[in-house]
Amino acid sequence: MSRKPIIGIPADRRLFGKHYFHMVGEKYIAAVADGADAIPVLIPALGAGITLEDLLGLCDGLLFTGSETNVEPHRYGGPASAPGTLHDPQRDATTLPLIPRAVAVGLPVLAICRGFQEMNVAYGGTLWQRLHEVPGHLDHRDDTALPLDEQYGPAHEVLLDPGGALRRMSDRDRLQVNSLHSQGIQELGRGLAVEARAPDGVIEAFRVEQARGFAFGVQWHPEWRFASNPFSRALFAALGEATRQYAQGKVNR
């Protein structure tokens, strides 16, 4: 194959000043470009304005990112959000139909934080909106008053499933991860298999059981300072290798 694979990254739609922009954080772009050794291409949050078949034909993989916004609760039959909760209905309309279609055709997929929650909803799962208010659970939110390196610093460990694919990427059965989320999985989506849990039992990673290729979601943020974290390097390297194999398969068809 003569070119690098293309990994699409669906954008947030954000009001910036008086105008809306379609935006992706640089840390995700860097993780794709350097960690997966692929070409990052931003996908605007146009919902039904995007033809999924054309998009899937363009991309060799997809990365669904974190965000300050929450999945709208009507998407999974949840109660109304608390006042002040940020939403991005255009992103929901783009990603929720895209995720299962991508996995179905074998496109490699990695979903992070909000993307992880989107992926669960896309497969029929539900979410706790304010996990810290659910008895028996830790407070998984970050302290936004802290410097970024502390916000994204190790917050708790996750136990990797001994038979899981993520465990095979790691040289140990536990990882120290960061934690910057208020939503969390309540009911796991259909066809998803748990790959990791937090100490309070919250699902922190899953895979699509019957996926034809790489299809994982993680609740933490492996893109942050990924080059200094052995597991994060392994995760993005595995995504990159999966996209190269997928791209090569397109060439050979």
User: Which of the residues are catalytic?
Assistant: 113, 221, 223
Closest CA to 143 of 151, 153, 152: 151
The residue written with tokens 């309309």 in the block is 93
The residue written with tokens 């996908």 in the block is 43
End-to-end CA distance of the chain: 13
